[in-house]
Structure 1
Amino acid sequence: MKKIAIYGFGRIGRQCLKVALQNQLFIPEAIADVKDESTLAALFEVDTVYGRWKNHVKGTPGSIIIGERAISYYNSAQEIPDWANLGVELVIDCSGRSTTRTGANLHLERGAKLVLMSAPPKSLEDCDAVLLKGINLENFDPATHQIVSTGSCTTNGLAPVVKVVHKNFGIQYGLFSTVHSYTNSQSLTDQPMKDRRDSWAAAENIIPSSSGAARALGFIWKDLQISGKAYRVPTRTGSIAELNLVTEKPCTVEEVNHAFRNAASEAPLKGVMDVLEEAWSSARIVGDSHSSIIDLPLTQKQGGILSVAAWYDNEWGFANRLAEVAAFMASK
């Protein structure tokens, strides 16, 4: 397996490492961030949302020690580590900043062979492929796919819905809205922000936002006519997306839900997509490793419009897919 580094040890970087260690997917050769080892180790060990890690974690100069395992740490405030010198071939960029080819290329210039973006690219020209587990990951070609994106949490939440409906009933066009927990791009208090709507306190407001999921879905299904938006709400994690579609073939609620049940029980979507048969709130899906959890009681049909709702833990579910995609790429 190729040696892996995690670049950016924030919310997603830390959860990605937890998934990798917990599921024995990989042990990174290195972690890089701009903060000090002690603080990052403390944040890894005790998480407000997911609780305490099973082993003691501490930071020492140049290392983050998890249980008995020491992982090399490099402060990247001044420059990206010399990946070639470290033997790192695959960099999982969790900084949130490398959404362009220019940004991702910095890792290649430092000796990495592959870069996996933990965010949607600005455009298709900014990566070589958008690959999602359960959707199109088998298309990965290490010879031509140096810069890969695995989309966003919402991309991974919507893609299974699109795949199942498109395969069984066809899709003419659609709109989605995602009700999404607040993120680090927002502010705790009212203050001027780059995006005007983000200027109001995240924990006290419902804040409309854009979503890059439609663009990322368009990279996978070239002719897909779907657009959408997000609403940020005062919850720590746990989101739900409602996708309203006009299908090519007539369908009933029962037929659609039956298709979701079948797809969730077999490859390639088993473990990626799940279904809920009963009525729940967002607390039910916090810490759930699935990318997309279809709320079957919320499936509706009105005239020619099909409405499907999919829950997803926007941190933990996405981190599971990110770690799995990285392990798959490193094995090739």
Structure 2
Amino acid sequence: MKNIAVYGFGRIGRQLVRSAVQNDLFLPSVVCDIASAGDLAALLEVDTNYGRWPGVASDDDASISIDGRRITYINSREGMPDWNALGIDLVVDCTGRGVTREAAERHLANGAERVLISGPSKTAADCDAVLLPGINLDDYDSGAHKIISMASCTTNALAAVVKVLLESTGIRFGVFSTVHAYTNTQSLTDQPMKSRRDSWAGAENITPSSSGAAKALGFIWPDLQITGKAYRVPVRTGSIVELNVIPEHEIATEDLRDAFRRAATAGPLRGILDVFEDEWTSARIVGDPHSSIVDLPLTQSFNGMVSVAAWYDNEAGFSMRLAETAARLASTEI
């Protein structure tokens, strides 16, 4: 396993480390952020959404330890680290700012072999590939792909559904809506923000928002005709997306549900896609590591249309895929 650094230790960066360590995928060599090591260790140890993680500590300003294993901490306020000097091969950029080629290439210029972006690149030209586990990660080319985007949590949730539909019914065109937990882009209280809708208290409002998932899906399937939008709602984590499509081939409701049952138990989506046979709410999926959990009672075929609803923990599920992808890219076997 090559050396991995996590650049940006916010919601996704910290959950990425939890997922990677608790699933024995890797322990990062370096983490970077602009806050103090002590404050970040405290946030890693006790998480409002996912509970306490005993064994996390920071004994100095230059490290964070997990069960006695030391991770070098670097304050990136002082500038991007020299990755070559630190022996870092792969940087996972979780700052939310690595979505342009210019920003991502700074890691390569500082000595990293490649960079994995925990978000959707602004355009197809801003990364070398959008690679998602279970979808197209096998297309990874170590020689050509230096900047890899993991797209978004919503893209990963939709991609699993789209893959099953493309293989079972085809898709002429479709529209999705995601009902999404609030995020740090919103305000806690009413105040002017860059986006006017985000100016109202995120924990008290239903907030319409744009979604880049359709564009990111187009990077994977260029001929896919899908658009959509998001609604942020007052839950701390746990989201659901509904995709309504006109299929190329009609399918009965039970056959449609069976297609998702099969995909959840065998093939490339096993462990990534899951299904619910019973009726649940978002509390059921908090902490669930799947990217997409199809709610079968809410999934049906009707009058030539197909409607699929899929749950996803927008932090835990996405971070699990991010950890798996980072481990794959850093494998010495590739």
Bin of the TM-score, shorter chain as denominator length: over 0.9
1:55 Cα offset (Å): 1.7
Task: Confirm or deny: 8 A CA contact 2:44 2:56 kept in the other structure.
Answer: no
Alignment pair present for 1:209 and 2:209: yes
Task: Confirm or deny: 8 A CA contact 2:9 2:32 kept in the other structure.
Answer: yes
Q: Counterparts of 1:78 and 1:252 in 2: how far apart (Å)?
A: 59
In 2 relative to 1, CA 59–40 (structure 1 residues): closer, same or farther, beyond 3 Å?
farther
Q: Counterparts of 1:145 and 1:217 in 2: how far apart (Å)?
A: 18
**Who is 1:172 aligned against?**
172
For residues 219-258 of structure 1, what are the structure 2 equivalents within 5 Å? 219-258=219-258
Residue identity matched to 1:60:
D
Task: Confirm or deny: 8 A CA contact 2:131 2:150 kept in the other structure.
Answer: yes
In 2 relative to 1, CA 316–59 (structure 1 residues): closer, same or farther, beyond 3 Å?
farther
Alignment pair present for 1:42 and 2:37: no
Task: Confirm or deny: 8 A CA contact 2:159 2:217 kept in the other structure.
Answer: yes
**Who is 1:63 aligned against?**
63
| CA offset digits 1:230-260 (Å, max 9, x no partner) | 0000000000000000000011111110000
Q: Residue 78 of structure 2 aligns to a residue in which SS? A: coil
**Who is 1:144 aligned against?**
144
**Who is 1:32 aligned against?**
32
Task: Confirm or deny: 8 A CA contact 2:56 2:64 kept in the other structure.
Answer: no
Q: Counterparts of 1:231 and 1:311 in 2: how far apart (Å)?
A: 14
| CA offset digits 1:268-299 (Å, max 9, x no partner) | 10100000000000000001000000000001
For residues 1-332 of structure 1, what are the structure 2 equivalents within 5 Å? 1-331=1-331, 332=334
Q: Counterparts of 1:55 and 1:306 in 2: how far apart (Å)?
A: 47
1:204 Cα offset (Å): 0.4
Q: Counterparts of 1:56 and 1:260 in 2: how far apart (Å)?
A: 39
1:27 Cα offset (Å): 1.2
1:305 Cα offset (Å): 1.4
Task: Confirm or deny: 8 A CA contact 1:41 1:59 kept in the other structure.
Answer: no
Structure 1: segments with no counterpart, 5+ residues: none
Runs of 4+ more than 3 Å apart: none
Q: Counterparts of 2:329 and 2:297 in 1: how far apart (Å)?
A: 37
Q: Counterparts of 1:120 and 1:192 in 2: how far apart (Å)?
A: 26
Residue identity matched to 2:215:
R
Q: Counterparts of 2:295 and 2:99 in 1: how far apart (Å)?
A: 31
Structure 2: segments with no counterpart, 5+ residues: none
Q: Counterparts of 1:127 and 1:20 in 2: how far apart (Å)?
A: 24
Residue identity matched to 1:52:
R
Q: Counterparts of 2:252 and 2:60 in 1: how far apart (Å)?
A: 59
Q: Residue 6 of structure 1 aligns to a residue in which SS? A: strand
1:54 Cα offset (Å): 3.2
Q: Residue 77 of structure 1 aligns to a residue in which SS? A: helix
1:78 Cα offset (Å): 2.4
Alignment coverage as a number of residue pairs: 332
1:36 Cα offset (Å): 0.4
Q: Counterparts of 1:300 and 1:272 in 2: how far apart (Å)?
A: 21
| CA offset digits 1:113-139 (Å, max 9, x no partner) | 100000000000000000000000000
Q: Counterparts of 2:178 and 2:12 in 1: how far apart (Å)?
A: 19
Identity %: 61
Which has the higher mean CA deviation after the structures are superposed, 297-306 or 274-283?
Answer: 297-306
Q: Residue 219 of structure 1 aligns to a residue in which SS? A: helix
Q: CA RMSD in A?
A: 0.7
Q: Counterparts of 1:65 and 1:329 in 2: how far apart (Å)?
A: 24
Q: Counterparts of 1:322 and 1:267 in 2: how far apart (Å)?
A: 20
Residue identity matched to 2:27:
I
In 2 relative to 1, CA 114–156 (structure 1 residues): closer, same or farther, beyond 3 Å?
same
1:59 Cα offset (Å): 4.7
Which has the higher mean CA deviation after the structures are superposed, 50-59 or 157-166?
Answer: 50-59
Query: Given the two structures, how large is their TM-score scaled by the length of structure 2?
Result: 0.98
Task: Confirm or deny: 8 A CA contact 2:41 2:56 kept in the other structure.
Answer: no
Task: Confirm or deny: 8 A CA contact 1:128 1:145 kept in the other structure.
Answer: yes
In 2 relative to 1, CA 16–59 (structure 1 residues): closer, same or farther, beyond 3 Å?
farther
Q: Counterparts of 1:230 and 1:136 in 2: how far apart (Å)?
A: 25
Q: Residue 54 of structure 2 aligns to a residue in which SS? A: coil
Q: Residue 172 of structure 2 aligns to a residue in which SS? A: strand
Which has the higher mean CA deviation after the structures are superposed, 49-58 or 12-21?
Answer: 49-58
Q: Residue 187 of structure 1 aligns to a residue in which SS? A: coil
